[in-house]
Amino acid sequence: MGGSCMNNGAVSTESQIALIVDGEFRVRSLVSHWLANAGFKCLQAENATDACNYLCNSHVHLVILDITLPGRAGTELLEDILAISPDVVVLMVAAVQETRAAINVLRRGASGYLVKPVSREQLLLQAGKAIAQRKVLIDRRQYTERLEQQILRQRVVIRQAHEETIHRLVAASSCRDVETSMHILRTGLFAELLARAKGWSSADAETIRLAAPMHDVGKIGIPDAILRKPSKLTREEFEIMKTHATIGATMLEGSIAPMLQMAQQIALSHHERWNGGGYPCGLAGLAIPESARIMAIVDVYDSLTHVRVYRPAMSEKTALEIMRHGEGKDFDPALLAIFFQNLPIIRGISAQYPDEPREGMEFGLNCPPRTLATLAEPATMGI
């Protein structure tokens, strides 16, 4: 009979394990005999507890389950079986034919429904077909999972290439600027950290990390005489410098990519101030996009604590004092509180990605330091 099953069916039963769950010893023995002759290794359980123990400790492929068990209904055990081993084939066996009961167990995940007395041919035929069908489903699922993993790996590679391209392009445009390549990297990581701490989704937090490096891309349109001037800008020069926000926004506008849309938002608004005293639009409070409010904080912190063309790096203590002074005026108070809560992590990122020594040497370390009051002016904190 075993040869007949395999010829009709479906799959080889060699080394597959069958569990027969029935309260009657005679039924268990007979069904085990049939399945053993068909190539199965057979286990027997007279109740739900024994059946679950076998399922937890053995890789069972087929379960023959009596719908009526001592102490517990087979329909209830069916759900436990499929929870323990979702890929197992379960054939339910009932004493009488009940259409409603058959529909119920099939809806719950059973692969077949047999009525006693069950013949050997009927049992092996249903078992072979059910195992073959389940194997097709498992193969399809595993194939789909492999495709999904492959797509995921490709997305990671594409995202990494995308990010590298952004950094290379921004770094190239920054060759004229006072900002270093590490400033670009650090501010992206700082922005992602604050976004996550604020409750942004992982996808949106990653988007701001990618978008943040483009915050000053508009400086490509500012003349060198102004951009690299190693002293305070005149009023007229500062008005020209302020146009980098609109230049950058114009360069980035019109994209359908969420990352570039956020980059455009940041480029335009990261010099706006909480009290409305910023530029280019004089936005205030929550009218400023949150991405730009985050960028304003991390950009100022990183700029103050690192070398710029017009001054050396200042101590973190002084920088933090300036930032606290700007709470509710320059910066969103809630976001600034999150910044200070995460300051140990921010310090760790700064230590991990320091400026290259040659980058600092290019930007006027011998310039005279400014007074605290002058450095605290919004106009000088993030140009």
Residue range 118-167, pLDDT digits in tens:
889 888 988 888 888 888 888 888 888 898 888 888 877 777 776 776 66
Q: Residue 88: which of 141, 37, 138, 36 has the closest Cα?
A: 138
Is 229 in the active site? no
Tokens 């002084």 belong to residue: 318
Q: Long-range contacts: 168-173, Cβ < 8 Å, 24+?
A: 170/213, 170/214, 170/217, 173/217, 173/219, 173/220
How many whole angstroms separate alpha carbon 111 and alpha carbon 134?
A: 9
Cis amide bond preceding 117, omega within 30 = yes
Of 268-272, 316-320, 378-382, which gets the smallest average pLDDT?
378-382
Tokens 């009932």 belong to residue: 94
Comparing 27 with 364, the larger pLDDT belongs to: 27
Classified by CATH at the fold level, domain 2-143 comes out as Rossmann fold (3.40.50)
- Per-residue confidence at 374, pLDDT binned at 50, 70, 90? very low
Tell me the CATH architecture of domain 177-381.
Answer: Orthogonal Bundle (1.10)
Running DSSP on this structure, what letter comes out for residue 111?
S
Torsion of CA 28, 33, 37, 43, to 10 degrees: 40
Whole-angstrom CA distances from 315 to 86, 234, 342 are 60, 26, 18
- Per-residue confidence at 270, pLDDT binned at 50, 70, 90? very high
Please pick, among 219, 242, 317, 329, the residue that the annotation labels catalytic. Answer: 219
Handedness of CA 335, 337, 338, 340 (dihedral sign): positive
Cis amide bond preceding 280, omega within 30 = yes
Q: In the chain, which residues fall in CATH 3.40.50.2300?
A: 2-143
Residue 215 has pLDDT above 70, yes or no: yes
Q: In the chain, which residues fall in CATH 1.10.3210.10?
A: 177-381
Exposed/middle/buried for residue 26 (C-beta within 10 Å: 0-12, 13-18, 19+): exposed
pTM of the model: 0.56
Per-residue pLDDT averaged across 198-214, rounded?
A: 93
Residues 6+ apart with CB under 8 A from 325: 376
pLDDT, tens digit, 9 for 90 and up, residues 83-123: 888 888 899 888 878 888 888 888 888 888 888 888 898 88
Q: Residue 364: what pLDDT?
A: 32
